[in-house]
Structure 1
């Protein structure tokens, strides 16, 4: 069942049509019987008029002047063997029985309905007849004309039912509209005025589900904050102990170096997992505000400039201010992951180019580096969680956890943005384009 409205329309229309058909059939049969009775009464009345009109014309034998091809009359003597008066199209013999009442007879290739009446005063028999097929046509025309309005009422009923059902389903439409327009961070109850009893259970169940989801998200957010605190502290302490141990044993000790790299990787993994959770599109409580993309990128590059300077890398930023509706933390996380990836995979004295500009589909954020890039066949897979080219250690020697571009993709989805990977013009490195949609744009 694709449409409740269409189903109700067809069901009600089928019911109305069936009831109308039975009613029409019964009405047709009843009306035809009544029409037959009326025609018989007319025949009888005609016979009575002929009786009165000819009461003074005894023993006069002649033909009537008026001729009707569908009716005839005859006046016989008492014995029925002598035709005294008749219409011009009437037979010259008695058709059927010479008895009072109605009879069906054959004459001139037609069936006729005749009425025989005995005039006891004049001692004559009066016969009036009418063609049955003409009676049927006349009766059917009258009956069908009365049935036409009922038949025409069916499409009118369909139109009325369509709008009536639509009006009845309006609360359901409003309910669906509220659900579809809810933001990912909006778990407030759905409110409808004058909710029908049939929809009350659905609305209450949905609101109950939204409440449980809100409670679950609150618990997970508290867990995220607690986990961040509990995990960051031991890692920080471990870093301090390793630093002290390295000072005591010598920083060139291979075991100390490997252990330090492992702790750094663990700390990075913790930060990335927490960032992935906080920026995932399926998580609630994501607040949007007006954010200038260019200024955000500019401040993050300035904040991390020492990181690029240590590798003697050149990073430049082109573009102009464009304000979009975004979550500031998520946008900063996206930019940080992109420029950190560019920093890690670009060799020393390499070049990194960042650009923010207007695009035909919205606002374009582009980050290009002069690193090894990503083969075209692998560009879809790098958005998968924990996927890294060539395993845990890239050919460039960079150690990572495989979550950076996954987080970027999640943040792009959160903002309904598109992300494309390509080849940079700077020595064949990686080019990342993130296009924020037009609907989120307002110019500064």
Structure 2
């Protein structure tokens, strides 16, 4: 089972998380509002009952109040519970002197006070909590107090609030299901694009078709097609390079086999020496090709991208030129170095040395004897240009290169040397190509480093 997470699940979880958060806040607010409104409803009921009882008692003559206490109590007494929201109320009435005129309900008689309004009382030996509302009549001759148990009031409030919140509890799973279906339906074009990518053959010339109706996919499709085009160009170049390498190796190896067979056939001594010399030459040629292949493989490693360090290109040029001084002397060539005492470039010394050796070797291999070769390096005067390194010569090969356009890619029989230098330039973000040759030189191959390569 794959350990990768699904984008569909991620979107669903984040959406549900946000929904639950908002839903929880609204449910808490609704519950709190329901409790508050239920409490207000109970307080209003207490005020209504107190006004009703005061009105009834006002209609009874003053002298008849003691004898009519039972009648008023019967009016104040509530009937049996016929509704879930019906509450058991208690009431008590005093005269102006604080004498109890009558009392109804299970609540103990509270202490007589002159203040009126709402209050929370603790009454009786059991210390029960009561919610009360007391009110004087207009003549301030009688005061009445209506009470309800606080736990009954709270129970009613929570019941009403729960009835308000219950629909939201059923709504959450329905919204979650609808949200999951909507996200799955909305991501269907992305799943279709993923299937097309999975079926795409990077080795072939097929491209993604831009038949999607969503503009967000246009950039993705264009980027993928651009990568595929670059991949095709790289694959074509690699195939061409492989064919060239196979052809280049086939010739010396076949010659070595033929000369070895001839040596086994009993050649004369002069012919044997000539055959051995040919074998040595072809072996060196094949070895050079293999050495170039190894260098090309080293430049292709991903470890070179990043972790660069300052490299003294001027000192590197002097060191490499000194290594080829003997080969140049044997060909009667002149090999010189021109540049500052120090030129620091941010890069990789191994790759830069490899590129410089290939430039010098190409100059020695593809020019006639007595050629003047010079390794040059320096810093461009333009603030927008970086350091540069080039190898120039005045050989006959420069006559053809002189007509080549600026920046054109140099070519030889196998392109391995140029391919190595081009990849080294790519690692360093530099440009490689033919540059204008200063007199008396006719050909220059140059590496132009970016401004960021200054160390």
Give the TM-score normalised by structure 2.
0.48
Give the TM-score normalised by structure 1.
0.49
